Structure 1
Amino acid sequence: MAFAGVLLLVSGLFDIINGFVALLDDGYYSTTADHGNRLLIFNYDAWGWIWIFVGIAQFLTAIGVFMGSRGARLAGILLAGFCLVGQLIFLSAFPWWSLATMVLSVLVIYGLVSVPRHLPGERV
């Protein structure tokens, strides 16, 4: 569970960084003129706040994961899935960053789904 919790914290940090970048520099996520503006972002300020709130939710969920909460594990899976889909929007602008954070989200989901059976409070 520590693996999944730490990865959830790192993913939350990355999402908070994405949010602040969207808030502070609107043109940062724009693609080049020869590719056209292919991002699906409707409003950079709203998008930045969404990522900040998701990152904070991931931090809080990671605390629940460290405490062994089943609800926190389920919330972590949902948040990582949201981040996985959300990174598709950034794929045209920053393919390597998007792929790295998508892999991180997949590892979070894996870490939360493949829980050892000997955790206290879990049914076998």
Structure 2
Amino acid sequence: MNPEPHTWDMVYQELASLLAVAYNPVYIPTDLLIASKQYDLMQSIQGDKRWSNIFDLSKLKQINPKFACKIPLRKGLQLFLEYMDAHPELKVEEPVFNQWCDDTIALYESLKTSFHNDIR
């Protein structure tokens, strides 16, 4: 938790920057993704990734007035990447899910193109 305001999009932008890769998001509406018959995305997307959140730390500060978040977002993500590099056993490839994502993006892009071509 960090009082520094950030969105999931900002987190992924920072990760792309730290990994020195292009950031190429595809914004597929939540209502379409949660309709998946292969994956239950309702909890992970609807629960915490659909809306931006800024967490209120006031109750924590009441309990522990000395608490201060000392790690900014970028540094925290860097530490995460370093940890994952130090523990390659935690890096699990998911080829079936990756293919589902690629297929979903391709279908969505195709539908967008068809829709735009049919609007008059």
- Larger helix proportion of the pair: 1
TM-score after normalising by structure 1: 0.28
TM-score after normalising by structure 2: 0.29
Larger Rg: 2
